[in-house]
Amino acid sequence: MLTHIKPEPLRSPLFDKAAAAGIRHGYFTRMGGVSDGIYGSLNIGTGSADDQALVRENRRRAAEWMGVAPDHLLTAHQVHSPDVIVARAPFPGERPKADAIVTDRPGIAVGASSADCGPVLFADVEARVVGAAHAGWKGAFTGVLENTIAAMESLGARRDSIIAVLGPSISAKNYEVGPEFIDRFVSADPANTRYFEASSRPGHAMFDLNRYTVDRLSAAGVTAEALNRCTYAEEDLFYSYRRATHRSEPDYGRHISAIVLEHI
């Protein structure tokens, strides 16, 4: 284990253009931490069975890269909901249950943890409002993306000025779903058939979560794109819940993707 290696998250060209306005972001990979084994190495999952002392050190490293104190790197207790929190200070006690956080306060880094689900970062550079959402299929389907945009608007953002970028998540090539999943989406909107391609198993299909997420963001009126990095396929860089399940592994690590308004 190379514990001396520091985290070096992936970044979005769209957000890098916003760096001059004092907005810092990163889609952290699994590299640059102190955890070992199946958690190697930058596991920030407080809900994992990893040694929590190591998780705290990993979160400290991520916070340091973001330029904030560890208690100013905020992630919610994610429950695959459409719920959004407005944060203006560190959480005073237990993390609230929600799947997105927005803020207009410099020095508060908001983040989403993931291991196949889509981490989406948001920013309105002019209004200086940022957000982070955990968008698996259920959260995206039930409105967490649109609710995050609305919460940002409540802080003064304008949706036509908001940038939203989907970070590493499972690709359609590796995301097979069953007939009940397909029926749920197509019953809600017949146009959702475009997100499914036939798989080798009758009644099953490959689901394009990345495209579905970006399309919902675009339909909501924001500028949206995806990094198009697959958590399942790129094992050296990413944790994957589905990959761990296929291998009958007992647990899996989680990444963090975060964004912060710097003091200017």
Torsion angle of alpha carbons 176, 177, 183, 188, nearest 10°?
-80
Element containing residue 241 per DSSP (H, E)? helix 241-246
pLDDT in tens, 153-198: 999 999 999 999 999 999 999 999 999 999 999 999 999 999 999 9
Using left for φ > 0, alpha for ψ between -120 and 50, and beta otherwise, residue 87 falls in: beta
Q: What was the pLDDT predicted at 20?
A: 79
**Per-position DSSP letters for 87-99, written without gaps between them:** -SS--SSSPPB-S
Buried b / exposed e along 142-170 (16+ C-beta atoms within 10 A): bbbbbbbbebbbebebebeebbbbbbbbb
Q: Grade residue 215 by pLDDT with cuts at 50, 70 and 90.
A: very high
Element containing residue 142 per DSSP (H, E)? helix 137-142
Q: What was the pLDDT predicted at 17?
A: 84
Residue 1, pLDDT > 60, answer: no
Q: What CATH superfamily classification does 13-171+208-261 receive?
A: CNF1/YfiH-like putative cysteine hydrolases (3.60.140.10)
8 Å CB contact between 156 and 127: yes
8 Å CB contact between 99 and 155: no
Domain ranges of the chain: 13-171+208-261
| pLDDT mean over 37-63 | 98
How distant, in Å, are the alpha carbons of 2, 73, 229 from that of 90?
31, 8, 31
pLDDT in tens, 227-260: 999 999 999 999 999 999 999 999 999 999 999 9
Q: What was the pLDDT predicted at 208?
A: 98
Q: What was the pLDDT predicted at 250?
A: 97
Q: What was the pLDDT predicted at 143?
A: 98
Q: What is the Cα–Cα distance from 61 to 222, expressed in whole angstroms? A: 31
Residues 6+ apart with CB under 8 A from 34: 1, 3, 41, 54, 57, 58, 61
The DSSP secondary-structure symbol of 63 reads H
> Which amino acid is located at 152 in the chain?
M
Residue 4, pLDDT > 70, answer: no
pLDDT in tens, 83-134: 999 999 999 999 999 999 999 999 999 999 999 999 999 999 999 999 999 9
Q: What is the Cα–Cα distance from 188 to 196, expressed in whole angstroms? A: 14
Q: Grade residue 264 by pLDDT with cuts at 50, 70 and 90.
A: confident
- The first and second tokens of residue 178, run together, are 């069953």
Q: Grade residue 3 by pLDDT with cuts at 50, 70 and 90.
A: low
Residue 2, pLDDT > 80, answer: no
Element containing residue 263 per DSSP (H, E)? none
First-to-last CA distance in the chain?
37
